[in-house]
């Protein structure tokens, strides 16, 4: 199957924050998450997007409320997971696995809807998060209140899976389901343990590069944004090198999709809203 990507929310930001040399015009950034039907592993989500837990959850901590007020994500009701799964003829309980590319709020906010799903993630990163104080996690952009308490027990550590070479010189990727269809490729820099997903078997291999950059335009040489975007990354040098790797994959003939890129992708779930 070809993956589809829903858009859980829009977040507005001036172009110059996300593309070097950009203008003050507001871009309507998307917050995608993927849905993929694997023949053996079942129904798989790639992250979960933003949800009401971030924007209106009654028990939210003060930092989470401040975060939501600052970014003001506009949730897309029709693209929340239950609605999207319904359109695809499935229910949340049918989701057998969730791939978590990293632990930022816009990737984990709907995890609670899938209490039975296996979670493919980096166990070492999760262990570091769980060993830190809530305050220390905030400095990494992580809200531990969005992480289910039993997350570690449901986690499949992708660093313990066998690896395969991803196409177009992308390097090695953890073979999530043992058949080469989904390869988790490390793209460090944006957040601790951040990785992308290469759909290696598609006629034109697709790299879902998640948050390697926010906009496809920033993958062009010299277009990655400077401050303050670089400040929120966990490792600026690694971010620059991951950006170059993603750009090189695209130059070699691969297709690239980013979580927040505002343009319409052929992988986007059709239907309102654009
Ligand atoms: Zn992120």
User: What pLDDT, in 10s, does the model give residues 229-250?
Assistant: 666 777 889 999 999 999 999 9
Residue 263 lies in a domain: no
Tell me the residue range of the domain where 35 lies: 4-258
Ligand 1: distance of its center to the CA of 267 in Å? Answer: 20
Q: Global pTM? A: 0.95
Q: Which two tokens stand for residue 69?
A: 């007020």
Ligand 1: distance of its center to the CA of 75 in Å? Answer: 17
Contact 192, 125 (CB under 8 A): yes
How much is the average pLDDT of 52-62? 93
Query: How many independent structural domains does the chain possess?
Result: 1
Residue 153 lies in a domain: yes
Q: How many angstroms separate the Cα of 97 from the Cα of each of 92, 101, 145?
A: 11, 13, 21
**3-state percent breakdown (helix, strand, coil) of the chain, nearest 5:** 30, 25, 40
How much is the average pLDDT of 35-42? 97
Ligand 1: distance of its center to the CA of 160 in Å? Answer: 23
Residue 129 lies in a domain: yes
Planar angle of CA 73, 261, 195, nearest 5 degrees: 95
pLDDT 10s digits, 184-199: 999 999 999 999 999 9
pLDDT higher than 70, residue 182: yes
Ligand 1: distance of its center to the CA of 212 in Å? Answer: 9
Ligand 1: distance of its center to the CA of 102 in Å? Answer: 7
- CATH assignment at residue 84: 3.60.15.10
Residue 266 lies in a domain: no
Ligand 1: distance of its center to the CA of 202 in Å? Answer: 25
Ligand 1: distance of its center to the CA of 110 in Å? Answer: 15
How much is the average pLDDT of 79-101? 97
Ligand 1: distance of its center to the CA of 48 in Å? Answer: 12
Ligand 1 ion: residues within 5 Å (CB): 104, 211
Residue 148 lies in a domain: yes
pLDDT higher than 90, residue 271: no
Residue 236 lies in a domain: yes
Residue 77 lies in a domain: yes
Q: Which residues fall within 8 angstroms of residue 50, CB to CB, at 6 or more apart?
A: 8, 9, 31, 73, 75, 105, 106, 109, 110
Mean pLDDT, rounded, of the chain:
94
The per-residue pLDDT for 1 is 79
Q: Which two tokens stand for residue 214?
A: 């926010």
Residue of 38, 4, 3 lying closest to 176 (CA atoms): 38
Ligand 1: distance of its center to the CA of 145 in Å? Answer: 16
pLDDT higher than 60, residue 273: no
More confident residue, 66 or 226: 66
The per-residue pLDDT for 274 is 47
Residue 135 lies in a domain: yes
pLDDT 10s digits, 107-136: 999 999 999 999 999 999 999 999 999 999
How much is the average pLDDT of 57-66? 92
């Amino acid at each position: 199957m070809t993956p589809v990507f829903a858009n859980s929310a829009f977040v507005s930001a001036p172009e110059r924050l996300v593309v070097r040399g950009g203008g003050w015009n507001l871009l309507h950034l998307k917050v995608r998450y993927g849905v993929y039907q694997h023949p053996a592993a079942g129904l798989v989500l790639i992250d979960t997007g933003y949800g009401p837990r971030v924007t209106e959850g009654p028990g939210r901590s003060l930092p989470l409320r401040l975060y939501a007020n600052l970014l003001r994500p506009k949730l897309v009701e029709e693209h929340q997971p239950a609605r999207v799964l319904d359109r695809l003829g499935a229910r949340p309980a049918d989701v057998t696995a969730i791939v978590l590319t990293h632990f930022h709020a816009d990737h984990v906010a709907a995890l609670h809807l899938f209490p039975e799903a296996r979670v493919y993630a980096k166990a070492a990163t999760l262990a570091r998060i769980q060993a830190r104080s809530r305050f220390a996690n905030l400095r990494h952009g992580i809200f531990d209140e969005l992480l289910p308490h039993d997350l570690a027990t449901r986690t499949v550590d992708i660093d313990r899976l066998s690896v395969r070479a991803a196409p177009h010189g992308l390097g090695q990727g953890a073979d999530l389901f043992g058949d080469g269809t989904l390869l988790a490729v490390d793209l460090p820099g944006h957040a601790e343990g951040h990785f992308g997903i290469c759909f290696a078997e598609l006629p034109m291999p697709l790299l879902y590069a998640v948050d390697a950059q926010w906009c496809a335009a920033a993958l062009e040489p010299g277009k990655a944004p400077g401050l303050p975007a670089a400040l929120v990354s966990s490792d600026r040098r690694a971010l620059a090198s991951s950006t170059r790797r993603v750009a090189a994959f695209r130059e070699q003939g691969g297709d690239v999709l980013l979580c927040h890129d505002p343009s319409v992708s052929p992988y986007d779930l059709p239907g309102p809203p654009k």
